A = this chain, B = another copy of it.
Amino acid sequence: MSARERILDAAAEVMQKSGVAATTTRQIARAAGCSEALLYKHFAHKQELFVAVLNERLPRLSDPRELAGTRTVAENLATLVEQLLAFYLRSFPMAASVFSSPSLRDAHRNSLSTMGAGPDQPARLLQTYLEIESRRGRLAPDTDCHALARVLTGAALFEAFQASYAGADEIDDAGTLAARIVAVVGTDIGGR
């Protein structure tokens, strides 16, 4: 396994346990069994490691372009919501710590924004999916894709927040829960 992969594994482990705010690059290097100098060869700073952990070590969302046009829109949305449940359950406790002070939060945000990253990314991906289906005529033409994407993403965030609070390792029956969330946003999506 390459040094980069080992460092990412270690970063994921330490950030899961301590949250991103309390994690230091020194701790990560130690957990990876490498020097901080080697870590900095691969990653400019802790926030870059955080974004890499989110993208490469956490449950992923499907590519909207691959989903579009397959099965029904409701089934595809349920798949995306189920993936979001898994993503948020792992990322929420990791990320929550950046809210522990305004200065920490601002530093984190500024650093992520130079990488083009931010917490609306999952909702943007769902919106992209909905917009493709809308152009294909598989959604009612007046669908508010922006709001719908954010409502579904928020529903997943809420459920992951509850499960994380309860100390759950996974979300029971995530597939059923995801389908129930999608069903509640309306019958316009269901049958197409």
B184 close to A99 (CB less than 8 A):
no
The docked-state distance in angstroms from the alpha carbon of A168 to that of B136 is 37
A5 within 8 A of B: no
Pairwise interchain contact A118-B157, C-beta atoms closer than 8 A? no
Interface residue tally of chain A, by bracket? 35 or more
Most buried by B among A21, A120, A161: A161
Query: Whole-angstrom distance from the CB of A149 to the nearest CB of chain B?
Result: 9
**Is A165 an interface residue, CB under 8 A from the partner?**
yes
- The answer, yes or no, to whether A150 is at the interface (CB within 8 Å) is yes
Question: Among the listed B17, B106, B147, B155, which residue makes an inter-chain contact with A180, where contact means beta carbons less than 8 Å apart?
Answer: B147
Contacts of A165 in B (CB 8 A): 99, 105, 109, 118-119
